[in-house]
Structure 1
Amino acid sequence: MIKRSVDIGKLSKEELNEVSLKSVFYQYHAALCFFAEKLVQDRTEAEDIVEDVFIKLWEKEPDFSKHKNIKAILYIAVKNACFNFIAQRRRNNSKLNGFAYTIQQETESYALLEIVHAEVLRALYHELENLPTECRNVMQLVFIEGWEHKKIAEHLDISISTVKTHKARGIHALRKKMSVSTLLLFLYIIFS
């Protein structure tokens, strides 16, 4: 986690670059991993791809604050890295079904749709962080992990009715903070 109360004036250029990288990493890592996972269909590979992109960008240009549109740079770099991974996997895998699925994933429209999905999730994750701890924990387990109420109750050692109450409060709080269309898009993403 990045300390938000850093006195920037007292940092060296190298320390400033590190703070800049950490800030960008913290802001976009989860969304980029979600985006990459949708493209390569493998969570571990997606996380590796995103981390490799950050490392390559850091090695090439350690001052992330110089980039005017770092979000676009990151999404393009992750998309290209995913397509390279898919192409390599295709070369290593000659099964017809895998090939047809890979071709579908390589379309630009699919990539753009997944960017939208990732950004909606990033906005939701940001709003989830502002919820009270108990409510946030329940919301994450319900909507992100997809757990049933009973499993959440057992895991958090609370009653099922308490789980439902926290879920209702969380949805109500998110409705106040986010537009209805964003919430509906999020629910569509989660349940599709």
Structure 2
Amino acid sequence: MPVRRTAALLLLLAVLTSCARDGERPPESRPVPSRTTDGAASSADPTDSAWVQLMIPMNQQALILLDLAAEKATVPRLRDWASRLQTSQNTELEALRGLRDRMGLPDTDLHKGHDMPGMVTAEDLEDARRAEGAAFDRLLVEQIRDHLRQSEQVSRSEVSAGSRAEARARARELVTARAAQLTALTALPTGKHTR
């Protein structure tokens, strides 16, 4: 099986498996009409659609946790890093929303309530709100590391398997950004913590 097709299947399988595990209806897997500047319709393939519709809620949830870090992180370098990451994630989110709109995809969270790898869940956020001091720092590092790793992985799949040039270019940028963000996190005093 070609590498591109294998990567596409892995990305879609990750999304569909998590939806099925949660007892939810999986996201639509057929091509979706996309708006273009000249009014003509093109189609977003299932890999492109799945990637965009996964990355948006992943970033949204991570941003809530990063917002808590501004108040609760106890290590100044960790707090500063989280603030820079928050700015970066906000910029990414706006770009992803624009891409979603240009692809003609709905403005809905198909993964709401799903416990997906790399997704900061409502339960994680409750734990973060309750945690104090070093416990909060550890939770922040663990959750954000998972988010960065998983979003890098699914973005690599999009680069390999997506068919829309704009989506693949955005995914390539995210892969590069995630590598730098993970390196910076590891360099922090608390960043070396592993589960």
TM norm structure 1:
0.31
Structure in which a larger fraction of residues adopt strand:
2
How high is the TM-score relative to the length of structure 2? 0.30
Counting helix residues as a fraction of each chain, which structure ranks higher? Answer: 1
Q: Which has the higher contact order (CA 8 A, sep 6+)?
A: 2
Which of the pair has more CA radius of gyration? 1
